[in-house]
Amino acid sequence: MKYCVGIDLGSTTTKAVILRAEGDILGRGITNSRSSYKVACDVALSEALIDAHFGLVSTELERAGISAERKQHLLSELERRFREQQYRGHLRQFAERVRRRVEGHRPAAELPLLQPETPKKDEEGLGEAVDGILNKMEQETPELYCAGASRKSDFFRDLAGGRFMALAEEASRELKVRFDALAGLFDKVILEVENLPGESNDFQMHVRTALETLDDSRNELADAVELSAGTVLESVANVGTGYGRQTLPFPKEQIRSEILCHGLGAHSMFSDTRTVLDIGGQDTKAIQVDGNGIVTSFQMNDRCAAGCGRYLGYIADEMNLGVHELGPLACKASRTVRINSTCTVFAGAELRERLSLGEKREDILAGLHRAIILRAMSLLARSGGIANEFTFTGGVARNEAAVAALTQLVHENYGDVQINISADSIYTGALGAALFARREWLREEGSNGGSPS
Residue boundaries of the structural domains of the chain:
83-194, 272-421
Which pLDDT belongs to residue 342?
A: 59
Instruction: For residue 303, report the phi and psi dihedrals to the nearest 5 degrees.
Output: 75, -30
Instruction: Provide the pLDDT confidence category of residue 121 given band limits of 50, 70 and 90.
Output: very low
> pLDDT (tens digit, 9 = 90+) per residue, 151-202?
666 778 888 888 999 999 999 988 888 898 899 999 989 888 877 755 545 7
Instruction: For residue 392, report the phi and psi dihedrals to the nearest 5 degrees.
Output: -105, 125
> Which residue type is seen at 419?
I
Most confident of 204-208, 275-279, 354-358: 275-279
Instruction: Tell me what the mean pLDDT of segment 21-25 comes to.
Output: 90
More confident residue, 342 or 185: 185
Q: Please report the sign of the dihedral spanned by the C-alpha atoms of residue 305, residue 307, residue 308, residue 313.
A: positive
**Around 323, how many Cα atoms within 13 Å sit in the side-chain half-sphere?**
17
Residue 308 pLDDT > 80: no
Please check whether residue 341 is in contact with residue 332, taking contact to mean a CB–CB distance below 8 angstroms.
Answer: no
State CA 51 to chain mean position distance: 14
Which pLDDT belongs to residue 140?
A: 93
Q: How far is Cα 264 from Cα 428, in angstroms, rounded to an integer?
A: 8
SS3 state of residue 55: helix
Residue 12 pLDDT > 50: yes
Which pLDDT belongs to residue 35?
A: 66
> pLDDT (tens digit, 9 = 90+) per residue, 100-116?
888 854 444 443 444 44
Instruction: Provide the pLDDT confidence category of residue 207 given band limits of 50, 70 and 90.
Output: very high
Which pLDDT belongs to residue 109?
A: 41
Q: How far is Cα 62 from Cα 251, in angstroms, rounded to an integer?
A: 40
Which pLDDT belongs to residue 282?
A: 76
Neighbours of 55 (CB within 10 A): 17
> Which residue type is seen at 347?
A
Residue 120 pLDDT > 70: no
CATH (one of 3.30.1490.150, 2.60.120.10, 3.30.420.40, 3.20.20.30) for 272-421: 3.30.420.40
One-character DSSP codes across 122-151: HHHHHHHHHHHHHHHHHHHHHHHTSTT---
Instruction: Provide the pLDDT confidence category of residue 119 given band limits of 50, 70 and 90.
Output: very low
Please check whether residue 364 is in contact with residue 342, taking contact to mean a CB–CB distance below 8 angstroms.
Answer: no
Instruction: For residue 90, report the phi and psi dihedrals to the nearest 5 degrees.
Output: -60, -40
Percent residues over pLDDT 70 in the chain: 88
Q: How far is Cα 130 from Cα 102, in angstroms, rounded to an integer?
A: 8
Q: How far is Cα 210 from Cα 290, in angstroms, rounded to an integer?
A: 47
Neighbours of 296 (CB within 10 A): 12
Instruction: For residue 14, report the phi and psi dihedrals to the nearest 5 degrees.
Output: -115, 130
Instruction: Provide the pLDDT confidence category of residue 357 given band limits of 50, 70 and 90.
Output: confident
More confident residue, 356 or 391: 391
Q: How far is Cα 412 from Cα 335, in angstroms, rounded to an integer?
A: 18
Instruction: Tell me what the mean pLDDT of segment 12-33 comes to.
Output: 91
- Give the residue among 338, 334, 362 at the shortest CA–CA distance from 350: 338
Which pLDDT belongs to residue 323?
A: 81
**Average pLDDT value for the chain:** 86
Instruction: Provide the pLDDT confidence category of residue 306 given band limits of 50, 70 and 90.
Output: low
Rg of the Cα atoms in the chain = 24
How many distinct helices (H) and strands (E) make up the chain?
14, 9
Residue 339 pLDDT > 90: no
* Beta bridge mates, 32: 13
Instruction: Tell me what the mean pLDDT of segment 51-73 comes to.
Output: 95
More confident residue, 224 or 371: 224
Ramachandran bin of 31, using left for φ above 0, alpha for ψ from -120 to 50, beta for the remaining angles: beta
* Beta bridge mates, 393: 278
Residue 51 pLDDT > 70: yes
